Amino acid sequence: MGNFVVDSLGLSDVLKMDKRQLLYQILNFGMIVSTALMIWKGLIVMTNSESPIVVVLSGSMEPAFYRGDLLFLTNHRDEPIRVGDIVVFKIEGREIPIVHRVLNLHEKEDGSIKVLTKGDNNRDHDRGLYAPGQLWLQHKDIVGRAKGLAYFCYAVFVSSQFAWDVFLVTKHWSLLAPVLRLNLVHLKKRFNFLWAIASRQSVVRLGVGSDIGRRYWPTNDGNDAPEDNEEVVVVVREDITDHLIPK
């Protein structure tokens, strides 16, 4: 029974290692983790955003973005937010950020802003989602502005699975193999990595959503009626559909 457990967990290869080999494997793993952390911290500094890459978790922004899409964010103060921009914001008391489009915007001379957002696929604006008594978003609530789909992340994650498998096979580090493979499969299912790469339509969505939003979204004068907003969403959908590559 003991041998079965050892073999099933891949401990036999680990037990065969001497101290030098085990230390080498630990150092390799540490380098991988530290490299990933450095890349992430570097992105934070470059983008000035606490979360440079976020995942779309709902269908409220369809057809511009879909569940599982990875968005690349920036949050530079010298790039002012404008009506039609897609922003990621956090609400007090909620940990999960929300990805929606700027519907109305008020600016002051001191640089402060008040923003009202709305999901392209939602009928109403987001005031019902804000904290009790909150009517507008401010700079402190905004995590970043979406600059496009982070396709390079899809390639990194998918290639990482192959790299990990090769590493585990060649280095006989089978102790972590079941855990890593399980996590990678879970990630692919949750974020649809392979689908995002294979889908021809997803490639066209890069940069289209923001440009169309700037052309068609209501102005920031605050006089737009809800039915006008709904009509705009229909126009946006039709325009994006016209840009899709025919099958």
Cα-to-chain-centroid distance, residue 166: 27
Model pLDDT, residue 43: 83
- 119, 124, 159, 161 from 155: Cα distances, Å: 28, 36, 6, 10
Q: Check if 172 is active-site.
A: no
The continuous run of DSSP H or E covering 146 comes out as strand 142-149
Catalytic residue among 69, 126, 141, 202: 126
Catalytic residue among 49, 60, 202, 210: 60
CA dist., res. 162 & res. 169, Å (int): 11
With CA atoms as reference, report the closest residue to 106 among 79, 133, 135, 86.
Answer: 135
- 25, 77, 129, 152 from 170: Cα distances, Å: 12, 47, 50, 26
Model pLDDT, residue 16: 64
- Count other C-beta atoms under 10 Å from residue 226's C-beta: 11
What CATH number is given to the structural domain containing 199?
2.10.109.10
User: How many domains does the chain contain in total?
Assistant: 1
Catalytic residue among 100, 120, 141, 210: 100
Model pLDDT, residue 102: 92
The continuous run of DSSP H or E covering 94 comes out as none
Q: Check if 60 is active-site.
A: yes
- Burial (CB count <10 Å: 0-12, 13-18, 19+), residue 186: exposed
Q: Check if 126 is active-site.
A: yes
Model pLDDT, residue 95: 80
For residue 50, give the 3-state DSSP assignment. Answer: coil
CA dist., res. 71 & res. 167, Å (int): 29
Residue range(s) defining the domain that contains residue 144 = 1-247
Pairs from 194-199 (Cβ < 8 Å, separation ≥ 24)? 194/158, 195/68, 196/68, 196/69, 196/70, 196/149, 196/151, 196/154, 197/151, 197/154, 197/155, 197/158
User: Per residue of the chain (247 residues), what is the pLDDT tens digit?
Assistant: 445 444 444 455 556 666 777 787 778 878 888 888 888 888 888 888 888 888 888 888 888 888 877 888 888 888 888 898 899 998 888 888 889 999 999 988 887 889 999 998 888 888 888 988 889 998 889 988 888 776 655 544 444 444 444 444 333 333 333 334 334 444 444 443 333 333 333 333 333 344 434 433 344 444 444 444 444 444 444 444 444 434 3
In this prediction the pTM is: 0.53
